Chains A and B, each alone.
Chain A
Amino acid sequence: EIVLTQSPGTLSLSPGERATLSCRASQSVSSSYLAWYQQKPGQAPRLLIYGASSRATGIPDRFSGSGSGTDFTLTVSRLEPEDFAVYYCQQYGSSPPYTFGQGTKLEI
Chain B
Amino acid sequence: EVQLVESGGGLVQPGGSLRLSCVASGFTFRSYWMHWVRQVPGKGLVWVSRINSDGSITTYADSVKGRFTISRDNAKNTLYLQMNSLRAGDTAVYYCARPRLVVGAPDFDSWGQGTLVTVSS
Contacts and interface: CB of A to CB of B under 8 A. Distances in A.
Contacts of B30: none
Given A44-B113, A96-B50, A50 B107 contact: yes
A44 B105 contact: no
Contact of A33 (B46, B95, B107, B111): B107
Nearest to A35: B107
B107 A103 contact: no
A96 B60 CA distance: 8
The 4 closest A-B pairs by CB, nearest first: A44-B111, A50-B107, A35-B107, A100-B45
Interface of A: 31, 33, 35, 37, 44-47, 50-51, 56-57, 88, 90, 92-93, 96-103
Interface of B: 35, 44-47, 50, 59, 61-62, 95, 100, 105-109, 111-114
